[in-house]
Amino acid sequence: MIEPLAISPKVLDLLKYGTPFRFCCSYQASYELPAVPYFLFDPKKHFIDLEDAAQTRRVVTLLSLLDDFDARSIVYDSEGSVWSFLYDRSKSSMGFVGRVLANTVYNPKREVVVSWSRVRQYGFQELREAYLDAVEADDDILTQHVEQEELQERVRRCIDFNDFVETWQWMNTDHDE
């Protein structure tokens, strides 16, 4: 959800008299974002996460920029669209020393602009396969509170986006209490 802007009367006067919106405000009304919540899937790392906000700016590690996490990730939004996103690397210093240090304990973070692109529509079978791929490769993150086989069975039974979200919420609940 995009929060409304508080615009001063002075800025409103400027807008009335032909001043382009982009010159007086950093917000662009035509910017399209995925419907939230959405599932973010990284096919290389077999990672999936449920996100509740589509950000236009994000703090990321240098290693994420170097590893092209953004370029290979797939976003499945709640309205049936697949999205891709890219981080703006224009201000990133990715010299040799920075690349070496990013792969060690020192991995600096920086804020970057996120650009979104709607790619196509998806069927729930595609989301199901991504979720099952992540569960299969899981190292006790997704299956921290549940058994892998039970989670896989629940994912296989999902027939709509809400079912996937409910399964995610169930998966993150401690069942030993």
Domain extent listing, the chain: 1-30, 33-121, 123-177
Give, in order, the Cα–Cα distances in Å from 71 to each of 44, 67, 103, 140. 11, 9, 19, 26
Would you state the pLDDT for residue 59? 93
Cα distance from N-terminal residue to C-terminal residue, the chain: 34
Would you state the pLDDT for residue 9? 47
Would you state the pLDDT for residue 62? 83
pTM of the model: 0.76
Weakly modelled stretches of the chain, pLDDT under 50 = 1-30
- 31-65 pLDDT, tens digit each: 799 999 999 999 999 999 999 999 999 999 888 88
Would you state the pLDDT for residue 110? 84
